[in-house]
Amino acid sequence: MQLNEEDPRPAEDGAVLPDKGPPGQEEAERVPGTGTRERGRIRAGRNLPAAIAIGLALGGLALVTLFTVKSTFLILIGAFVAVALWELRAALATRGIAIALVPVAAGGAAVITLGYWAGPRDALAAAALTVIAVIAWRLPGGAPGYLADVTASVFALAYLPLLAAFVALMLAQPDGPRRTLLFVVLPVCSDTGGYFAGILAGRHLMAPVISPKKTWEGLAGSVAACLIAGGVLVPVLLHGHAWQGLVLGAAAAGAAVLGDLAESMIKRDLQIKDMGSILPGHGGILDRIDSLLVVAPVAWLLLTVFVPR
């Protein structure tokens, strides 16, 4: 559903080369034959037709599941989180860190399921019990690497199923499909707005240490797109006020960029290009849901305050 792509590539000397950042926030590339960088012309550097086709397919799947039997969207969430967890496990394994996959996967499924069917208290209890299970699961492996493995496992639990549980909480509401649709649209608008703003005007780097090809112009495009989407869709879908939509849009844009930067930092630390390759033109599942994960609790909280059930 999203158009961004990260590309932290390990250099031959072990350093990590600049990545391609979120969509539209790329730095200008060298123009063939000139040896110089042309700031006004920024190229996507990826298989754009494949990215668009996959994005449309995922968007269509989300719409069908949301507005037929909404609980089927819960299955879609679980599938995405499961694949993302597998990708994260494989990525961490390259640095000798082992996630306690069985308790994290089982506990994560319980967190998301209970979030939908029982509510936040039961989901939180399931998360706490999963942490205890992780601590116990790793004990037979011995002391070497124990802290790193347990820490990574708890991080995986919090980063993937716990954040995704907020989507289940939104979905469980009587108007859940509309709340969830709004939540999905905002990160997509952030990425799309940033992509086109960066392509057209990207010149000033935003976070060169983390992602050297993100630009402030791309960020402005992300914020503008989210403000428009929030200001229009909150009144249309949830009968709220336009100013509430603007607040939600601004918060979602900030969360989406944070989620993208955080996943970029993880990949740079691990010195990998993508978390996976399951989606042509996109990378892995985690590469596509990184901003959605961080936006989820922000959207849930603001919608709960602004538009109570």
- Verdict on whether the full-model pTM lies above 0.85: no
Q: What is the full per-residue pLDDT of the chain (309 aa) written as tens digits?
A: 444 444 444 443 343 433 444 444 433 333 333 333 444 444 445 566 777 787 788 888 889 999 988 889 999 999 999 999 999 999 999 999 999 999 999 999 999 999 999 999 999 999 999 999 999 999 999 999 999 999 999 999 999 999 999 999 999 999 999 999 999 999 999 999 998 888 888 788 888 888 777 889 999 999 999 999 999 999 999 999 999 999 999 999 999 999 999 999 999 999 888 887 787 656 789 988 999 999 999 999 999 999 987
Residue 13 lies in a domain: no
Residue 228 near residue 253, CB atoms below 8 Å: no
Token representation of residue 122: 């039961």
Per-residue model confidence (pLDDT) at position 31: 35
Residue 20 lies in a domain: no
Residue 2 lies in a domain: no
For residue 156, the enclosing domain spans 48-306
Residue 171 and residue 106: Cα distance in Å, rounded?
21
Residue 72 lies in a domain: yes
Residue 236 lies in a domain: yes
Please list, residue by residue across 9-37, b when 16 or more beta carbons sit within 10 angstroms of its beta carbon and e when fewer do.
beeeeeebebbbbbbbbbbbeeeeeeeee
Residue 15 lies in a domain: no
Residue 55 lies in a domain: yes
Per-residue model confidence (pLDDT) at position 278: 80
Measured CA distances, 113 to 73, 176, 246, 263, 268 (Å): 12, 15, 31, 25, 32
What are the residues whose beta carbons fall under 8 Å from the beta carbon of 121, sequence distance 6 or more? none
Q: Tokens 């240490």 sit at which residue?
A: 209
Strand partners, 243: none
Per-residue model confidence (pLDDT) at position 265: 93
Residue 98 lies in a domain: yes
Domain total for the chain?
Answer: 1
